[in-house]
Structures are given as structure tokens and as C-alpha cells.
Amino acid sequence: MKTTKLITIVIGLFITGTLFAGNVNPERRVSERLKLAATWQGAGDSIYAEVDKYPEIIGGIESIIKKVVYPENAKKNGTEGTVFLGITVDEQGNIIKTEVLKSVDKELDNAALAAVKSVKFTPGEKGGKKVKVKLTLPIAFKLNGADKKKDAKLDKDDVYITAEKMPEPVGGMEAILKRVVYPAEAMKKQQEGKVVLSTVINENGDATEIKVEKSVNADLDKAAVEALKGVKFTPGEQNGKKIKVKIFLPIMFKLK
């Protein structure tokens, strides 16, 4: 049976911003102070993870999809997986920095990096000004025999990774932020890092099948998972129907 190529670019609401858990009293919920942790200082400029208006890909997701080349050797070996990229978009909408946050292998990593190299964005904005923004961009490489109409589906259970209307947390990102608790032991040991979660939002807006895609350690992984549990979402929609959608959510734990 001939195997055809399916390359899925996973970009959603939760990919465009990283949630931050800052240095707070471990007995208290993360507060408004977390917003301060969403800024990096570099070369005299601020780079934000949380902004009023996020950068958008000019030409849409298709402008990246058409640039992705599935390496022949990877296809031959049946290599699949999701490469997580960290990209920084400047005030003009140009990508000024790229890095691999989660690797599959060198070939797929390089293919993902090459695909976004010349992609142009609309600039992000904060407080009415154009700013530099750091984004997390997962690119999933998957080989199967599905036809084009099923390209958006992940499996036989009709779980989508792209949809006409993506799920959104009821109450916004703050609904998740306020549930994050920085583990006392992790604070004591000065442990920091980014936990990347995946979850399937079902037709009722519930976060199900929560998994750790990129781990830091057991304590921070657990804190990230617990923060997402119980958060309600507006369901995703495709062709006017509510559907199951898989999304990715990066949560950064950083001590100040």
C-alpha cells in the first residue's frame, strides 16, 4: 500500500503565548504578579510572551505548510513526531530568533526550522505599541494514508488539531494562570523551566486526556497538569458542529 505524506502544522491560541508561574508564596495562587514574568530582557529590549495582540502569520497557516519538506530519509524510516520551536518575532514581524524546544531528531528538527525561516508575521502589540514577542510553535510530522479531507483529524475518534473555530478558555488565560501553584519544593531547589501540555477539548468544553509533552520534573509537571484540570473551554467547531480538538499549552515556571 502506498503511503502518502501528511504534514500537520499545529498552531492555536495556546501556542502563541506561554503561561508563566512566577516566584510567589507556595500556599497562594499565582496572582497578577505573574504578568511581570512574561518579559525577558535582552539587548536592551523587552521580549514578551503575553501581549494585547499576538503576531499572526501573513498568509495563514498555509504559508508555513507549503514550506515544510518531509525529509526523504525520515519518510523511508517512518520517522514521525512533533518538533516544538521557540521563535521571537520583532516589531516589523520578522523572525529574529529560532530554537528547538523539543526535538524529534536532527532531520525533522532542521525541516521545521527551515519551514519557518522566511515566514512573515504581523507584529505583536502591547499597550498600543509594537513589541517583540516570543512564541512556541509545534510542527507535527505524520505519515499516513489519509485523504485530504481528513488531514485535520488525528485519529479514528475524530480528534482535530486544527479547526475553523479553536477552543478558548472561559475567562481567558487568567482562568488557567490563577490555578497555577509553584511547588514549595521546586522553589526551595530553585527549579525552573517550561512544561508543555497537550489536552483534548471535547464537545462540552472539558479538558480531557491531559498529557505532558515536554517535561521539566515531576513536581513542575504535576503543578502544570493540576492547573489545567477543571478549566472550562468554549468547544471547537468544524462545519458548524462542535468537535474534539487537541491543543498544546506551554506553562513556564520562573523564579524571580
Q: How does strand 95-102 pair with strand 233-234? A: unpaired
pTM: 0.52
* Cβ neighbours for 80, distance < 8 A, ≥ 6 positions apart: 104, 141, 142, 143
Chain segment 132-149, per-residue pLDDT in tens: 988 888 888 877 644 333
What count of Cα atoms within 13 Å lies in the side-chain half-sphere of residue 81? 20
Chain segment 14-36, per-residue pLDDT in tens: 333 334 444 333 333 322 222 32
Cβ neighbour number for residue 39 with a 10 Å cutoff: 15
Q: What percent of the chain has pLDDT over 70?
A: 76
pLDDT of residue 144: 60
Helices (H), 31-162: 62-65, 72-77, 106-116
- pLDDT surpasses 90 at 55: no
Q: How does strand 129-144 pair with strand 124-126? A: antiparallel
- Give the Å distances, CA to CA, from 186 to 29, 140, 217, 227: 15, 31, 9, 16
Q: Which of 188, 169, 176 minimizes the C-alpha distance to 25?
A: 188
